[in-house]
């Protein structure tokens, strides 16, 4: 994994915009605990077809003004036109945002057309055309292959197109098999791609939830992990303790072998991330 070892290790967090007052309270509680870690940046998702775009913008502003954190909003191809994407980019530029995550996005059920951008590489190219080098652009990477890809080779070619369109760095879908990440990095190196590819990390706190997420996104849960989680039944404390051990070990191995940091999918909860952070002995980023 030579191509990653020359990048400095950095740590980032992902949040989603709240839709209810209760969810807003949960997010603020998580931010109060996680902001002192001083992550390099915090990405903010939005729903299918931009269904939470305004809430994403509000959350981004809050991260900046209330917590003094660099925010990286997600933007997506699905249901976007060049005109409304231009408006979104202008709004973020005016807010002082310099970092974005450009994705194809999920197609909502019943939607027949993706919009004027079909693939993330087209979105990346448009952002570069409109804004030059203003934004640092993150794209998604899939060490275990995108669930809708036609195959490994096709998926790698798709990733290469995004990079060549102007991506600066990438964040992976979460995974629990480190070898999948190492192989993906080797494959990228063979394609001549040299950019930071940060592992996405999903804490394990709820077996039913993680099994459902993994089924949807194509992330493999190793058999031994699945069997241990199944055996723990409804013992939430034991599941959290086991999950903390498994994910901390994964992170430790990734960092020891040269990964350029970690990107934590927080699910707007602080405790699991804090536990992993402590186990790894990380300083504030």
| Total count of residues recorded for the chain | 285
Active-site residue, from 14, 70, 138, 144: 14
| Neighbouring-strand partners of residue 137 | 100
Based on the residue annotation, tell me whether 189 is a catalytic residue of this protein: no
Of the candidates 193, 141, 191, the residue with the CA atom closest to the CA atom of residue 171: 141
Is the CB of residue 73 less than 8 Å from the CB of residue 97? yes
CA distances, 242 to each of 121, 222, 267 (Å): 39, 14, 18
153-160 contact pairs (CB < 8 A, 24+): 156/187, 156/188, 156/191, 158/119, 158/121, 159/188, 159/193, 160/191, 160/193
Contact indicator for 134, 95 with CB cutoff of 8 Å: no
Catalytic residues, by residue number, are 14
């Amino acid at each position: 994994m030579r191509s990653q070892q020359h990048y400095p290790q950095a740590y980032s967090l992902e949040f989603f915009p709240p839709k209810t007052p209760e969810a807003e309270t949960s997010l603020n509680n998580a931010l109060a605990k996680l902001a002192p870690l001083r992550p390099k940046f915090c990405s903010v998702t939005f729903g299918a077809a931009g269904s939470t775009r305004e809430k994403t913008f509000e959350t981004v502003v809050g991260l900046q003004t209330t917590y003094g954190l660099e925010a990286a909003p997600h933007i997506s191809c699905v249901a976007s036109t060049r005109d409304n994407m231009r408006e979104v980019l202008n709004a973020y530029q005016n807010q002082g945002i310099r970092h974005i995550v450009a994705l194809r996005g999920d197609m909502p059920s019943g939607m027949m057309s993706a919009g004027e951008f079909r693939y993330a590489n087209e979105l990346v190219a448009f952002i570069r055309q409109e804004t030059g080098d203003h934004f640092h652009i993150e794209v998604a990477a899939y060490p275990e292959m995108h669930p809708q890809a036609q195959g490994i080779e096709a998926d790698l070619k798709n990733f290469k197109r995004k990079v060549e369109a102007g991506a600066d760095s990438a964040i992976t879908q979460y995974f629990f098999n480190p070898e999948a990440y190492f192989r993906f990095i080797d494959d990228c190196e063979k394609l001549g791609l040299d950019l930071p590819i940060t592992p996405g990390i999903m804490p394990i706190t709820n077996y039913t939830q993680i099994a459902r997420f993994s089924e949807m996104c194509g992330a493999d849960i190793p058999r031994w992990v699945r069997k241990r989680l199944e055996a723990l039944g409804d013992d939430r404390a034991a599941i959290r303790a086991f999950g903390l051990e498994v994910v901390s070990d994964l992170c430790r191995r990734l960092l020891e072998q040269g990964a350029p940091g970690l990107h934590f999918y927080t699910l707007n909860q602080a405790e699991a991330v804090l536990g992993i952070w402590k186990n790894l002995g990380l300083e504030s980023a």
